[in-house]
Amino acid sequence: MKEKIISTKIEVLSYDELSAQDKDLIDKAKEATATAYTPYSKFHVGAALLLSNGEIVTGSNQENAAFPSGTCAERTTIYYAHARYPEASFDTLAIAAFSNGHFQASPISPCGACRQAILEYETLFNKNIRILLYGENEIYLLDGIKSLLPLCFSEF
Ligand code: THU
């Protein structure tokens, strides 16, 4: 029997260790949590995406009485970004979550469907998307979505 071990590199950083640009993205992801529409979960997620043209697009989760019809912050953001700026590749995506009156102490990570959706744009532009996951205590930096989606299904 052979065995394969797949590992993921995560840089663990404090806010002060981030570049000015990454700080700005985290700030905007945090701000975007205020626009979440979450009457059901009360879990407010915000995302901010830096594009290759320098634009920053933000978004938040939008829920629906028919639960599967709701959309996570990540997909709200990346779908709008590509609809608005179809020529621009994705550089860095920051994600933050707020609930019960405070930002999450530990980073939250995109759900499986969002990971697959993010992968689509890595594949489209043939460029890794940096991902910043915000927590009050620590911030994770990933150098691409494949860090969160090993053995991913990509082009067919
Ligand atoms: N949610 C996001 O927007 N992004 C994530 O990464 C995880 C979960 C949303 C979906 C739903 O509106 C709420 O958070 C609770 O699951």
Q: Which atom of ligand 1 is nearest to the CA of 63?
A: 12
The torsion region of residue 151 among left (phi > 0), alpha (psi -120 to 50) and beta comes to left
pLDDT at 28: 99
pLDDT at 5 over 70: yes
Within 6 A (CB) of ligand 1 lie: 38, 41, 43, 45, 61, 63, 70, 72-74, 108, 110-111, 114
Instruction: Give the separation between CA 84 and CA 23, rounded to whole angstroms.
Output: 24
The closest alpha carbon to 114, from 83, 145, 154, belongs to: 145
Please report the pLDDT score of residue 127 as a whole number.
Answer: 97
Output the pTM of the full model: 0.97
